Amino acid sequence: MAKRRDITRDELLDEAEHLLRNHGYNGFSIRDVGEAVGISSASVHHHYPTKGDLAAAVLHRYRERWNAKLGAIAMEHEDWRGRVAAVVAAFAGMVVGKGSACLLAIACVDHASLSNAAQAETKLLHENLTGWLARFTVEAKKREEIAASHDAGTMAESLLSTLQGALLLSRVAGDSAFAKVTTMLADGSMHRVPGE
């Protein structure tokens, strides 16, 4: 049979993303992706010539998803606490459950194994995420919702670091540990209210 069901690229990316999250870049094979979706490894190569291309595509789609999500959060929430809570919820929702772990963390650990394209996507992913968080921080400072003790870039990096770390550690610490840490974040305990 010439075609079994004409796999869509999204199906391929879904499986690749799932495997990448749970096993790391060197922990899954093109064959694994094919089997999961019901085609041969040769067919996977038809859609994405190399494993590096596949990983770059997965990262690209992931990044776009995050940008859409953070843009929506920026629209839906105007206050700092609301935005932080929404970001935390987004991380918990997009990322926890079927395999936890954010692709950014995975990509950092496996950075040396990635293709140039995938490394570039990783850098962009980090820049986009911190960019949004820094924007939120700047606006919150203008509204005097948080103290201006540190620059926005550093606060954004710190917030992202905590989220990434907590997500990663949840594999040994359990989901409840992640929930506790993010609750602490969302409570705003990281950022002093001005006047104190």
Partner DNA sequence: GTCTATACAGGGATAGAC
Partner DNA sequence: GTCTATCCCTGTATAGAC
Residues forming contacts to its own copies in the complex (CB under 8 A) are 22-27, 101, 104-113, 122-123, 126, 130, 149-150, 153-155, 157-158, 160-166, 168-169, 171-173, 177, 180-181, 183-185, 189-190, 192, 196
One-letter identity of residue 38: G
Q: Which residues bind DNA (CB under 7 A)?
A: 1-7, 28-32, 34, 38-43, 45-47, 49-52
Residue 106 near which of its own copies, DNA, none (CB within 5-8 Å, type-dependent): its own copies
State which residue, 22 or 115, has the beta carbon closest to its own copies: 22
Closest CB to DNA among residues 3, 98: 3
Task: Closer to its own copies by CB, 43 or 120: give it.
Answer: 120
State in angstroms the smallest separation of the CB of 170 from its own copies.
8
Q: Give the one entry of DNA, its own copies, none that residue 155 binds, where binding means its C-beta sits below a cut-off of 5 to 8 angstroms depending on kind.
A: its own copies
Of the pair 35, 157, the CB lying nearest DNA is at 35
